[in-house]
């Protein structure tokens, strides 16, 4: 299980002093990119090789609040990998209290970038990135 840690920034909160609900998607994206950097390869390098990973869906459950300057951790888990599509699960904890504040999932697919504005919908990780493909398959066993 991968864990990403940091503190809540002031601009991520609303007038009530809690993290605005829209920022949770940004937080899980931040954590997922760090997961990608650690387990697949640096995301910028991946994009330079013609691979992008667009989101297909996301679901969220807000269980408790995070407030400005709260330390938190995001657990990122690769829940499913099907060669073209993968699904992640997330849990966000307040590091001071240990309280689970958020659970969620997001699904993504691998696309081949063929130009600045043109995307081909599918990329075969098995064929184009065989070592990474095997690693992802092994992670979901």
Residue 94 contacts residue 64 (beta carbons within 8 Å): yes
- Of the candidates 88, 59, 60, the one whose C-alpha atom is nearest the C-alpha of residue 75 is 88
DSSP secondary-structure letter at 16?
T
Which active-site residues does the annotation give?
14
Contact present, 97 and 89 (Cβ < 8 Å): no
The answer to whether 3 and 73 are in contact (CB under 8 A) is yes
């Amino acid at each position: 299980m991968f864990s990403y840690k940091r503190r809540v920034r002031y601009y991520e909160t609303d007038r009530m002093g809690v993290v605005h609900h829209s920022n949770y998607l940004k937080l899980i994206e931040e954590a997922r990119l760090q997961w990608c950097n650690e387990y697949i390869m640096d995301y910028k390098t991946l994009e330079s090789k013609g691979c992008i990973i667009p989101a297909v869906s996301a679901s969220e459950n807000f269980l408790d609040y995070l407030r400005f300057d709260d330390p938190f951790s995001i657990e990122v888990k690769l829940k499913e990998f099907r060669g073209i599509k993968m699904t992640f699960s997330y849990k966000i904890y307040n590091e001071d209290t240990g309280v689970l504040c958020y659970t969620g999932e997001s699904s993504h697919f691998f696309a081949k970038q063929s130009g600045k504005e043109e995307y081909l919908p599918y990329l075969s990780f098995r064929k184009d990135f065989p070592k990474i493909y095997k690693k992802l398959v092994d992670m979901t066993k």
